[in-house]
Amino acid sequence: MSDRDTAFAEYFAARSGAMRGTAFLLCGDWHRAEDLVQTAFTKLYTHWHRVVRHEALDPYVRKVLIRTFIDDGRRGWWRRERPQETPVDHPAAQAGTDDRLMLMQALAAVPPRQRAVLVLRYWEDMSVEQTAAVLSCSTGTVKSQAARGLGALRTLMSHSVTAE
Amino acid sequence: MNENDLRDAMRATMNITPPPEMESAAALAAGRRAVRRRATLAAAGTTTAVLVVTALAVNSGLHLSGSGGGDAPWAGPGRPSAAPTAVDGSLPAPIGTPSAAGDDTKPSWPLDGDGQPQHDATARSGERYEQGKKLLQEVLAVVPEGWSAPVGKPDDEIPLRYHQAQVEGDLAGSTWGYLATATVAKDGRSGQLLAEVHTKNNGLPAEPCALARKFWDMGGACEVLTVGNAKVGVVSAGGGDQRIDQWAAYRHADGIVVYVAQSRVAQNGTSTLKPLKELPLSKPELAALAVKDRFHLS
């Protein structure tokens, strides 16, 4: 195994789980999340020598993952598949599942770029500037998208509660 | 719902048991396949070029001077190991084609200087390797006066000087990319100078700012600076992508693309070296370097 392969495999083992978690919050589906992670890491492998600094690996993979997710949204993947009442790999319901499902369904109703802003800001704990860099937009856009996304979630969640 | 509620809700959601971990081996195999596809595309372009040139030569009775007994410069690296001889019009297998035994896990990379196939896309000896090495020397030659360019490996084991040559090929035509980085230091602080060169047929944009934004897909706010008759795209990075702070991009008339970049942080960013307060070069100086013949490597 070459040096690149060894380093790549080690990095994948260490970080693919966290990246998959982010991807899951974005798309609400573990299978799709794994596809997103695979796509991001494949691109990383092909550009391994350009991402020289170790601390640059996470930002690079995260950026590819987010962009792939948004591009897929433009192509309509998200409109075809939504989180299901019963998760595919988890037939046994757990305590709190309703709340979690409600959040995932509400997130699914938020436009992809707003959703990406919410996940980067409040799950990844990235700053406004860092989020803007990942999404290639202005800091003002990040702030407005975050506010709109939170507002949309608030509305969606309250509607869900009211409906019950 | 405010932002704290959302954070709590996301944490609660992620407390569910995830599926089994993804396997590194599968990811690695996918990465290798992607690299092979890129190399195969490159070879397909080269093979097409060979076919066209051969057809022209045969049909017109032309003799290609300089080709007798030797390969064209791009024919050597592009030829697979143990390439089958073309018989009855069949073409040699391109780079990345599975071997005759059908083992698609062993791609045939371009040949290194020792005559053996490369282990991956990176050349470890030979003409292309030397071009990468030369690029590092050219980077070191433009380190500004008053700055040093230290050598060695600090505690994070990432060398302070680095070069590489890598076969590329997203579009038709065999393309190589050369990369060189050098840590530069002054007054106890360290940053980095970097140059990246893409040979002809690289498929990169022609417009200076589009070209500049394409650098490592980092985007950024760009301005066009004029150096003589040349238009150079210069980008200053902002936000969270801290790999590089500033870079200049220039496309030569023959299609060779040069990026010259600088960073406040040395590549060994996890070491104890202090980052620079100011970049080594001004924007005009960076743009002027991008058009220099010293970086025009084929």
Which pair of structure tokens corresponds to residue A98? Answer: 């309703």
pLDDT for B10 beyond 50:
yes
Give chain B's mean pLDDT: 74
| CA dihedral (A145, A147, A150, A156) positive or negative | negative
Using the beta-carbon criterion (under 8 Å), do B9 and A103 form an inter-chain contact? yes
- CA B165 from chain centre, in angstroms, equals 7
Do residues A41 and B31 make contact, with C-beta atoms less than 8 angstroms apart? Answer: yes
Between residues B7 and B78, the one the model is more confident about: B7
Candidate from A10-19, B197-206, B214-223 with smallest mean pLDDT: B214-223
A75 & A102 share domain: no
> What's the total number of domains in chain A?
2
pLDDT for A41 beyond 50:
yes
d(CA B216, CA A47): 9
A48 & A118 share domain: no
How confident is the model over B262-282, as a mean pLDDT?
79
Instruction: Please work out, in degrees rounded to the nearest 5, the angle formed at the alpha carbon of residue B284 by the alpha carbons of B282 and B288.
Output: 115
A86 within domain boundaries: no
How confident is the model over A8-33, as a mean pLDDT?
91
Check if the interface score ipTM surpasses 0.95.
no
| CA dihedral (B37, B39, B45, B49) positive or negative | negative
Q: Which residues contact A156 (CB under 8 A, 6 or more apart)?
A: A105, A106, A109, A110
Candidate from B59-68, B115-124, B201-210 with smallest mean pLDDT: B59-68
**Closest CA in chain A for residue B266:** A53
State whether residue B170 sits within 8 Å of chain A by CB: no
Candidate from B92-106, B150-164, B191-205, B254-268 with smallest mean pLDDT: B92-106
How confident is the model over B225-233, as a mean pLDDT?
96
Candidate from B2-16, B34-48, B192-206, B247-261 with smallest mean pLDDT: B34-48
Which pair of structure tokens corresponds to residue B227? Answer: 């150096």
State whether residue A46 sits within 8 Å of chain B by CB: yes
Give the pLDDT score at B82.
30
A88 within domain boundaries: no
| pLDDT band of B292, cuts 50, 70, 90 | very high
State whether residue B147 sits within 8 Å of chain A by CB: no
Share of chain B above pLDDT 70, in %: 67
Residue A152: give its domain's CATH number: 1.10.10.10
Q: Which residues contact B282 (CB under 8 A, 6 or more apart)?
A: none
Between residues B157 and A29, the one the model is more confident about: A29
pLDDT for A71 beyond 50:
yes
Largest CA-CA distance found in chain A, in angstroms, rounded: 58
Q: State how far residue B209 is from chain A, nearest Cα, in angstroms.
A: 15
A2 & A68 share domain: yes
pLDDT in tens, A103-117: 888 888 888 888 999
**Closest among B235, B290, B245 to B267, alpha carbons compared:** B245
How confident is the model over A65-88, as a mean pLDDT?
55
A145 within domain boundaries: yes
Chain B 30-69, residues with CB within 8 Å of chain A CB atoms: 30-32, 34-35, 38
A106 & A157 share domain: yes
A87 within domain boundaries: no
State whether residue A162 sits within 8 Å of chain B by CB: no
Specify the pTM.
Answer: 0.49
pLDDT for B72 beyond 50:
no
* Of the residues A79, A114, A143, the one at which a domain ends: A79
| pLDDT band of B61, cuts 50, 70, 90 | very low
Which pair of structure tokens corresponds to residue B190? Answer: 């360290």
**Closest among A92, A113, A96, A86 to A26, alpha carbons compared:** A113
A108 & A60 share domain: no
Do residues B256 and B297 make contact, with C-beta atoms less than 8 angstroms apart? Answer: yes
A89 within domain boundaries: no
pLDDT for B67 beyond 80:
no
A44 within domain boundaries: yes
Residue A64: give its domain's CATH number: 1.10.1740
Candidate from A55-69, A126-140, B41-55 with smallest mean pLDDT: B41-55
A110 & A65 share domain: no
State whether residue B7 sits within 8 Å of chain A by CB: yes
**Closest CA in chain A for residue B221:** A136
Distances (CA, A) of A58 to A155, B22, B176, B228, B237: 33, 17, 26, 40, 17
A111 & A56 share domain: no
A52 within domain boundaries: yes
| pLDDT band of B156, cuts 50, 70, 90 | low
Candidate from B83-87, B253-257, B294-298 with smallest mean pLDDT: B83-87
pLDDT in tens, B240-263: 555 688 999 999 999 999 999 998
Q: Which residues contact B103 (CB under 8 A, 6 or more apart)?
A: none
Which pair of structure tokens corresponds to residue B157? Answer: 């084991």
Do residues A120 and A58 make contact, with C-beta atoms less than 8 angstroms apart? Answer: no
Q: Could you list the residue range(s) of the whole structural domain that residue A46 is in? A: 1-79
Count of A-B CB contacts under 8 Å:
163
| pLDDT band of B136, cuts 50, 70, 90 | very high
Helix (H) or strand (E) holding B182: strand B175-186
**Closest among A90, A92, A156 to A118, alpha carbons compared:** A156
Do residues B233 and B224 make contact, with C-beta atoms less than 8 angstroms apart? Answer: yes
Give the pLDDT score at B166.
81
Chain A 9-38, residues with CB within 8 Å of chain B CB atoms: 9-10, 12-13, 16-17, 20-21, 24-25, 30, 34, 37-38
* Of the residues A54, A79, A104, the one at which a domain ends: A79
A63 & A108 share domain: no
Give the number of other CB atoms < 10 A from CB of residue B113: 14
Segments in chain B forming alpha helices (H):
3-14, 24-60, 75-78, 127-141, 208-213, 283-290
**Closest among A54, A132, A18 to B22, alpha carbons compared:** A18
A147 & A113 share domain: yes
A73 within domain boundaries: yes
Between residues B41 and B253, the one the model is more confident about: B253
Tell me the three state secondary structure of residue B78.
Answer: helix
Which one of A42, A53, A107, A158 would you mutate to disrupt binding with B, by most B Cβ within 10 Å of its Cβ?
Answer: A53
A105 & A151 share domain: yes
Q: What is the DSSP string of chain A?
A: --HHHHHHHHHHHHHHHHHHHHHHHHHS-HHHHHHHHHHHHHHHHHTGGG--SGGGHHHHHHHHHHHHHHHHHHHTHHHH----SS-TT--S--TTHHHHHHHHHHHHTS-HHHHHHHHHHHTS---HHHHHHHHTS-HHHHHHHHHHHHHHHHHHHHHHHHH-
How confident is the model over B125-152, as a mean pLDDT?
93
Q: Rounded to 10 degrees, what is the CA torsion of A104, A105, A110, A111? A: 90
How confident is the model over A131-146, as a mean pLDDT?
83
Which pair of structure tokens corresponds to residue B32? Answer: 């290798």
Give chain A's mean pLDDT: 77
